[in-house]
Structure 1
Amino acid sequence: MGESPRGSRAGSRDRASQNHSTSVEQRPRRLGSLISQALSFDDADAYAAGEVGFLARALVQATMPHSDPKTNEFVRHNGHYTLSILAPKGVGLPYGRYPRLVLAYLNTEAVKRKTRHIELDHHFSHFCAALGIPPTTGPRGSLPQLREQMQRLFASTFQCVFHDEEKGRHAGDGFLIAEKRALWWDPRRETGDASWGSHVVLSERFFREATETPVPLDLRVLRALRSPFEIDIYVWLTWRFFRLRKPVSIPWDSLQLQFGCGYKNPRHFKRRFLKYLKSVISYYPEVRLTNGDKGLVLKPSPTHVAPRDSQMKL
């Protein structure tokens, strides 16, 4: 008899050490909780569990800040592709884990419902639960922090530019995430509930980007990863492996330009990248890669969530 999907996934975890160099093998830190969470996902794949999410490709190739950059402009590079984010003075740029989870939620709803009008619920606590964020109040609670990050996200302008000087090619596109938003929650209250339903109207440009060629993801993994750096690595790997047909080496300096995080010392960036890569591999053991002195070598591997026919242009 054929091996069950659960057995197949578990087997791939047993073979994980064969796919990764010793420098990216698991360490004891967080290992127990990560493995137990990852194994619990084996009961059903993302489609069967109703946990398939999506993220716009433009926001996978380059990403938002991991921590507060204390500035109103942020730039990330990935080869010929550049993502620039500009925030109004006095508002600030979106950063960290929360805006990434919000973007995945909005993108997923747009794909599933095929509409730019996204309802966010009367209850802020319910919305937090959908994002996998425990609702807490107080000055440093999750409710006020999430609300602030959403305000930053919706106020910012995103500019995507492709520039190849050698071939004389240049193209660019700018967009807001939302053209309208109404966030009626009060984060000072215990639940943040409101009398009116909060909602967002996605901009036409972002809606097209979000629905035409979205990257499919496992929302359970997105919620389980605790660091924005881990989230960025996970979505980037599953996107890269969709297209990868032969091994490719990506220089560490290129990865630093793409993921950034404000590290001035390349060795510090590499150390942090490999640390977070270990967490991602706990949930995505099918990846085949090696840590080289000059770069990360990716080898053809299954994408984490296989796209359906309508998403085959990734």
Structure 2
Amino acid sequence: MGKVHDLLELKGKQGALLADFDRMIVEAAAQYLGDDENSIGFLYSGWCQAALPHRKLPNESGWQIESERMALVVEPGMRPTSSGKPEPVGVPYGSRARLIMIYLQSEAIRTQSREILLGRSLREWLAKMGIPVGGKSLKDVRDQCERISRCRLSLTVRHGSRVGMTNQNVVDTAMFVDTDQPGQGSLFVETARLSEGFYNQLRRHPVPLQDAAIRAIANNSMALDVYAWLAYRLHSLDRPRPISWTAVKAQFGAGYARMDHFKINFRPTLALALAVYPDARVDEDDRGAGLVLHPSKPPVPNRLVAISTRQSQ
């Protein structure tokens, strides 16, 4: 992907568009390179390895996803109804849920606090990410906030022959604003308190992300997942690491029955993630067996992480 960045530097956006690059890749790379804001976000390393569904599931359905070292199960939460019978709200999904999760965790690291202000603060941050929060978009954000606030997680982590498991909520307590009283269908979370277990894991294992990169791919949930995965994996490698297509599909292609269909959609998604991570080095295996991850610089230099952390204290 270095070629598209080099071409943008030499010939600009129009020059890159005339070359043999997909417009979406050029647009994302150009937006990323032209973004002068150096703000940093954070994500718990577990979320970089196993993420949420991309599309809406039936409200009563749970979600399971596996990576090389981790399995994530998300159970939908329940809310009371006027009929006296609780109803499931469904698990969080899509790009909006991922952006909200990044916001929650970034704010927790910046403020060194489990207490997170949402409401206007979240809406302003989403607007910075290029998500105008009004009309249907606001309804979607409300829905994802409630799903995140009520869901329950089960994380299973494997280290060799050892297996560990944690069960937890993302959020311990939340203050909902009843914006549409009949049926309570449009509750919005104004404040949230991350669960102690989730917050402690986040503080021990935060992965720095560039807000500029998130902003450039904010509407593509799989590209957000791939970018976060590469941000977590590449800088820790000491030698090239092959990853089979079977393992890649298990982590990113839960909605695809056929491998060939998954590959067709994953390749441009990977290219989009690489467009906002210029230092990432990822190739396809020469034999077509999968991907090869190469040691790469992290997306956020360590000195910027140190500055950001000091400023938050």
Q: Does 1:56 align with 2:44?
A: yes
Q: Does 1:81 align with 2:70?
A: yes
- The TM-score normalised by the length of structure 1 is 0.80
Percent identity between matched residues is: 27
Distance in structure 2 (CA, Å) of the matches to 1:212 and 1:107:
12
1:190-221 alpha-carbon deviations (Å, 9 max, x no partner): xxxx9x99211111011111222100000121
> Of 231, 240, 244, which aligns to 1:247?
240
> Of 184, 206, 210, which aligns to 2:202?
210
The amino acid that maps onto 2:89 is: V
The amino acid that maps onto 1:212 is: R
Distance in structure 1 (CA, Å) of the matches to 2:241 and 2:180:
47
Distance in structure 2 (CA, Å) of the matches to 1:31 and 1:284:
12
- In 2 relative to 1, CA 80–122 (structure 1 residues): closer, same or farther, beyond 3 Å? closer
8 A contact 1:67–1:261 mirrored in 2: no
- Compare 67-76 and 123-132 and name the one that shifted more: 123-132
Distance in structure 2 (CA, Å) of the matches to 1:33 and 1:228:
17
Distance in structure 2 (CA, Å) of the matches to 1:124 and 1:106:
9
Q: Does 1:162 align with 2:160?
A: no
- The TM-score normalised by the length of structure 2 is 0.80
> Of 290, 298, 302, which aligns to 1:295?
290
- In 2 relative to 1, CA 242–145 (structure 1 residues): closer, same or farther, beyond 3 Å? same
1:183 CA drift (Å)? 3.3
Distance in structure 2 (CA, Å) of the matches to 1:276 and 1:265:
17
1:155 CA drift (Å)? 1.0
Which has the bigger relative contact order, CA under 8 A and spacing at least 6? Answer: 1
| CA RMSD between the two structures | 2.9
8 A contact 2:4–2:29 mirrored in 1: no
Which runs of no fewer than 5 residues in structure 1 stay unpaired?
1-9, 17-24, 44-48, 189-193
Matched position secondary structure for 1:250: strand
> Of 38, 54, 69, which aligns to 1:66?
54
2:221 counterpart residue number: 228
Matched position secondary structure for 1:30: helix
Matched position secondary structure for 1:126: helix
**What is the aligned residue count?**
278
1:148-193 alpha-carbon deviations (Å, 9 max, x no partner): 01111111111111246xx6422111111111111327489xxxxx
Which runs of no fewer than 5 residues in structure 2 stay unpaired?
9-18, 78-86, 182-186, 309-313
Distance in structure 2 (CA, Å) of the matches to 1:306 and 1:127:
23
2:169 counterpart residue number: 176
1:129 counterpart residue number: 127
1:115 CA drift (Å)? 0.8
